[in-house]
Structure 1
Amino acid sequence: MPHTLLVSYDIADDDRRSEISDLLATHGARVQYSVFEVTLPTKKAVQHLRGTLRRLIDRDEDQIRLYPLTAPTLSELVILGNRRLEERADFWIV
């Protein structure tokens, strides 16, 4: 069963912020400038992501929050407005 998380962050350093953003983008969609909806296949994958994020941050300057989203919560999701913030699109240069 997949595990969906809402991940928000406040990272003080531009390089760390970029690294964290790139990491989260590999697992889900950016829904606000510092917020991602991440879906991982297993609980072990969630634990791995948490460990990686923990190693990337400066514990005194940064903060990352991971909110688990359950199936009932997701089924009640309400989105107001049509703006999409996807900044990365997969593409191939041939």
Structure 2
Amino acid sequence: MPHTLLVTYDIADDDRRSEVSDFLAAHGARVQYSVFEVTLPTKKAVQQLRGRLRKLIDREEDQIRLYPLQASVLNEKMILGNRRLEERADFWIV
């Protein structure tokens, strides 16, 4: 069963912010400037993501929040406004 997280961050340093953003972009869709929806296949993958994020930040200056999302929440999400930063579409590269 996949695990979907809403990940938000407030990173004080530009370089750290860029690293966190790039790391999250490799795992999910950016839905706002500091917000990603990340879906991972296992609980272990979630733990690995958390561990890597811990290493990327300064715990005194930065904050990352991870909110687990249930399937029912994802099915009922509401989006107000037409602006889109990125739409995640599953695709295959051959």
TM-score (norm 1): 0.89
Q: Percent identity?
A: 84
Cα deviation, 1:39-86, whole Å, max 9, x if unaligned, reads 111110000000000111100000000000001111111111121112
Q: Which runs of 5+ in 1 are unaligned?
A: 87-94
The code of the aligned residue for 1:82 comes to N
Q: SS state of the match for residue 80, structure 2?
A: coil
Q: In structure 1, how many angstroms separate the alpha carbons of the residues matched to 2:34 and 2:11?
A: 9
Residue 16 (structure 1) shift: 0.4
Q: Are 2:19 and 1:19 equivalent residues in the alignment?
A: yes
Residue in structure 2 matched with residue 91 of structure 1 by the alignment: none
Residue in structure 1 matched with residue 89 of structure 2 by the alignment: none
Alignment coverage as a number of residue pairs: 86
**What are the equivalent positions in structure 2 for 1:1-94 lying under 5 Å apart?**
1-86=1-86
The CA RMSD over aligned residues, in Å, is: 0.7
The code of the aligned residue for 1:63 comes to Q
Q: In structure 2, how many angstroms separate the alpha carbons of the residues matched to 1:16 and 1:38?
A: 19
The code of the aligned residue for 1:71 comes to A
Q: Which runs of 5+ in 2 are unaligned?
A: 87-94
